[in-house]
């Protein structure tokens, strides 16, 4: 999985063999130059989802539900998820555990596939005290395990685990009936996701430690993406010892 925000890159990623494209609310930082993802609107997500859908042929498309689009009334959250599906997404992604299980169930009952997101959740950056690895103690691991199980039971078809020790992500993944995609969570999950601009070394400022520059030694962008796909599928990426910012 890689993030993508426009039709041109969607075509490149799809042709390079990326299985899943995520239209991430990271577009707030990558495309809009913001400090975090919180200001991204539903209109932003619908626009970029439609752009990516037009450039894609075969990859599975997941669109992030932005901050504020599902934290309020359930009917509003359902309406917002429907907008993303109509724009071309095959699945929506929302962050957090606990209360989100009921919303996942409501969406799935209405025919909307859902991907959950646990560990470090960027939309909760302020309440988490910054970009911090999650699941460092027994209580944190138990909470992650319980929340992941609840989301799976509610009908989520996929989960993203972000910023957690590799052994924790591996252990929790092994107890789940659904696939887990990791980012900064080691190799013991079922797949990996990176922000496209990070792995192409286009991101200004500090780069997360778990990111690898796939342009080094690659002839062009498509070959860099192909290397990423191959390294993930062959188990050469990521490094289990690197999972933080």
165 is written with which tokens? 């020790």
Q: What is the pTM of this model?
A: 0.95
Domain spans in the chain, listed from the N-terminal domain onward: 2-233
Q: CA 95 to CA 103: how far, in whole Å?
A: 11
The candidate with the shortest Cα–Cα distance to 192, out of 162, 216, 221, 149, is: 162
Q: Is residue 5 pLDDT above 80, yes or no? A: yes
In the CATH scheme, what architecture does the domain 2-233 have? Alpha-Beta Barrel (3.20)
pLDDT at 176 over 80: yes
pLDDT band (50, 70, 90) for residue 206: confident
Q: What is the pLDDT of residues 87-140, one digit of tens each?
A: 999 999 999 999 999 999 999 999 999 999 999 888 876 555 455 677 888 999
Residue 132 has what pLDDT?
A: 65
Rounded Cα distance, 177 and 158, in Å: 9
- In sequence order, the β-bridge partners of residue 21 are 2, 61
Structure tokens at 38: 């919180």
pLDDT band for position 207 (50/70/90)? Answer: confident
Give the whole-number percent of the chain exceeding pLDDT 90.
87
CA-based angle 196:67:85, to the nearest 5? 70
Distance CA 234, CA 212 (A): 15
Catalytic residue positions, numbered: 162
């Amino acid at each position: 999985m890689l993030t993508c925000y426009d039709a041109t890159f969607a075509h490149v990623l799809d042709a390079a063999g990326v299985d899943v494209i995520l239209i991430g609310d990271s577009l707030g930082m990558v495309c809009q130059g913001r400090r975090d993802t919180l200001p991204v609107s539903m209109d932003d997500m619908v626009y970029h989802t439609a752009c990516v859908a037009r450039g894609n042929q075969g990859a599975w498309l997941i669109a992030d539900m932005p901050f504020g689009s599902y934290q309020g009334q359930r009917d509003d959250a359902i309406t917002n998820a429907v907008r993303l599906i109509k724009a071309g997404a095959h699945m929506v992604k929302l962050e957090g555990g606990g209360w989100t299980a009921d919303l996942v169930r409501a969406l799935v009952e209405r025919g909307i596939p859902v991907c959950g997101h646990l560990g470090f959740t960027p939309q909760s950056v302020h309440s988490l005290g910054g970009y911090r690895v999650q699941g460092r103690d027994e209580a944190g691991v138990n909470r992650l395990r319980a929340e992941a199980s609840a989301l799976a039971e509610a009908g989520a078809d996929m989960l993203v685990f972000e910023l957690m020790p590799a052994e924790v992500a591996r252990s929790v993944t092994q107890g789940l009936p659904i696939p887990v995609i990791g980012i900064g969570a080691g190799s013991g999950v079922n797949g990996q996701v990176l922000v496209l601009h990070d792995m192409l070394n286009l991101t200004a400022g500090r780069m997360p430690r778990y990111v690898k520059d796939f342009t080094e030694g690659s002839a062009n962008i498509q070959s860099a993406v192909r290397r990423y796909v191959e390294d993930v599928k062959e188990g050469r990426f990521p490094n289990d010892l690197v999972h933080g910012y």
